[in-house]
A and B are shown apart, each in its own frame.
Chain A
């Protein structure tokens, strides 16, 4: 056999190797890529089929602008809260002396980070609704009437409910990173004369930084795309971008398809960027840990 024939055979086999991937790739194309592509196209297409930026221009005003601002604020605040509290709780969990207790709390995080959507919203109504368990207890024992200053159906109510699923997620993300802080590093720093504070400042926190940064972005995306929790609590009354999209989608006839496409694309952009940066940071973090 000449080497030319061999080369041809080899190239053919390489190409054949890709065929079993086709069903999967085709499925992803039809169900995921094409709809998003046409959404992108629709967001730049006017009612007569011409190219236009009017849909995006609309995003800067009125209800759309408010919705974006609220979504970013809500996701940002709950992400920051989740990261700070999650890191602290994660650190203390790693300090627990009983291995069993560590496992139990981690399992609780696993379970509660999946407690989202309608059941979570309902649970918060039970706890902090106007006749909620905690609402009543605070009024009774501390004479502290949290209503009407606070409402579970308001921004801070939503923030409290969102933090509920953000916090355990952060704990799960940060624990491996904290566990990866080797005790030798602390001892080495001690041996070099560093105080505990200096150890954290120069070694501990810098090593945790990728995990914390990655957590922040993941939590942000996680909250930004959430729908069911907010919907169950507020229906369409509180302006969030996902709720606005949902509002446009209810009813068989589309009210403003172009605006919907533009909102969808902007939401994808926010989430996509968060996820990409998250991936980059966490990959770098993983390299560091090895």
Chain B
């Protein structure tokens, strides 16, 4: 009896502690954002939506939200345009270049945002170029910064569906290049592009470091405003935090869902095109 209890008690306790550690900060932030006052007592003193109202009515809210949205969407589009055709071409025609492409797309893992920002500013912020401190350069830096998130899922789905043979099959049936791309290739690597795109989107929407150094106050983003409020007004900061985190976890869940959908569709092929990972391995 005792042994039986011990067998279930230890894992139960460990997972319980883990869940407590993982959930407490999240739950607390959500609760804090709707609490009237919560710095004197264990439980919030009352519930309110005032902090959201205050956040939304702040003239900066729309601006920073829009700025972050513009940056995220531009980065996703630029990243797709740059990486997807390249990855496809390499998988199809230049398999020799694959190790090179794998290497290049892993490099950003080793480059912290602050180092990338430093490098760009040192090289491009001086006359005559003066390009470093513009939103365009920021998007370019973001494409590099998020390259592994885009390249990996796309490369995985290219491998999972054996793109080379599908291309040949389509051609042997008389299909032109355009038709092969539209009707065979794109539909089959779409799960990879979608999860890559969403991961890039979520990462950039919450990106603080590079944005601060490259554009700073000239192009304020959502995370900058969040950091600003953590120093000025914790309650508005909590509303910002909740919005930011909600966007992040919604994206994560959508990515997981896409991965499950993609895996189901190509389960005959074996490999999961997106492996169900939504983690962009970068601390922040």
By a beta-carbon cutoff of 8 Å, the part of chain A in contact with chain B is: 17-18, 20-21, 23-25, 27-28, 31-32, 34-36, 38-39, 42, 85, 88-89, 92-93, 95-96, 105, 107-127, 131-134, 136-137, 140, 162, 164-165, 167-169, 172, 218, 221-229, 231-232, 242, 245-246, 248-250, 254, 257, 260-261, 264, 267-268, 271-272, 274-276, 279
CA distance A36 to B107 in the complex (A): 11
How far in angstroms is the closest Cβ of chain A from B132? 9
Count residues on chain B whose CB falls below 8 Å from chain A CBs: 86
Of B24, B89, B144, B280, the contact of A127 (CB 8 Å cutoff): B24
Instruction: Determine whether the beta carbon of A28 is less than 8 Å from that of B144.
Output: yes
A-binding segment of B14-22, B46-54, B158-166: B14-22
A-B contact pairs, 28 of them (CB 8 A): A35-B120, A35-B124, A36-B115, A39-B123, A105-B19, A110-B256, A110-B279, A114-B279, A117-B223, A118-B230, A119-B241, A123-B25, A123-B29, A125-B230, A125-B234, A127-B24, A137-B42, A167-B18, A169-B281, A222-B283, A226-B112, A227-B209, A228-B209, A228-B283, A232-B230, A246-B209, A261-B122, A276-B110
Instruction: Determine whether the beta carbon of A165 is less than 8 Å from that of B283.
Output: yes
How far in angstroms is the closest Cβ of chain A from B143? 7
How far in angstroms is the closest Cβ of chain A from B57? 21
Instruction: Determine whether the beta carbon of B140 is less than 8 Å from that of A227.
Output: no
Of B114, B226, B276, the contact of A119 (CB 8 Å cutoff): B226
How far in angstroms is the closest Cβ of chain A from B14? 5
Sample of 18 more A-B contacts, CB < 8 Å, known A18-B94, A231-B208, A268-B115: A27-B143, A28-B104, A35-B123, A93-B15, A111-B253, A114-B248, A117-B208, A118-B244, A119-B206, A119-B241, A122-B238, A133-B42, A167-B22, A232-B230, A242-B114, A249-B117, A249-B121, A268-B110
Instruction: Determine whether the beta carbon of A223 is less than 8 Å from that of B118.
Output: no
Task: Describe A's contact surface by its main secondary structure.
Answer: helix
How far in angstroms is the closest Cβ of chain B from A24? 4
* A residues in contact with B144, CB < 8 Å: 28, 31-32
Name which residue of chain B comes closest to A160, CB basis: B21
Answer yes or no: B264 CB below 8 A from chain A CBs.
no
CA distance A208 to B276 in the complex (A): 21
CA distance A233 to B90 in the complex (A): 44
* A residues in contact with B169, CB < 8 Å: none
* A residues in contact with B141, CB < 8 Å: 31
Return the 8 tightest CB-CB contacts between A and B, nearest first.
A226-B283, A35-B119, A225-B112, A117-B284, A123-B25, A228-B284, A131-B39, A92-B11
Of A35, A133, A136, the contact of B122 (CB 8 Å cutoff): A35
Answer yes or no: B26 CB below 8 A from chain A CBs.
yes
> Given A39-B119, A92-B14, A264-B115, does the pair A108, B278 have CB atoms closer than 8 Å?
no
* A residues in contact with B223, CB < 8 Å: 117-118, 228
Instruction: Determine whether the beta carbon of A231 is less than 8 Å from that of B94.
Output: no
> Given A120-B25, A172-B277, does the pair A225, B282 have CB atoms closer than 8 Å?
yes
Answer yes or no: B106 CB below 8 A from chain A CBs.
yes
CA distance A135 to B104 in the complex (A): 46
Which B residues, 197 to 227, have Cβ-Cβ distances below 8 Å to chain A? Answer: 202-203, 206-209, 212-213, 223, 226-227
Instruction: Determine whether the beta carbon of B94 is less than 8 Å from that of A21.
Output: yes
Instruction: Determine whether the beta carbon of B230 is less than 8 Å from that of A268.
Output: no
Instruction: Determine whether the beta carbon of A31 is less than 8 Å from that of B143.
Output: yes
CA distance A140 to B93 in the complex (A): 68
Most A Cβ at <10 Å: residue of B104, B140, B227: B227
How many residue-residue contacts, CB under 8 A, span A and B? 263
A-binding segment of B64-72, B78-86, B174-182: B78-86
CA distance A276 to B102 in the complex (A): 12
CA distance A119 to B206 in the complex (A): 9
Which B residues, 25 to 47, have Cβ-Cβ distances below 8 Å to chain A? Answer: 25-26, 28-29, 32, 38-42
> Given A18-B97, A110-B279, A246-B213, does the pair A119, B41 have CB atoms closer than 8 Å?
no
Instruction: Determine whether the beta carbon of B238 is less than 8 Å from that of A279.
Output: no
How far in angstroms is the closest Cβ of chain B from A93? 7
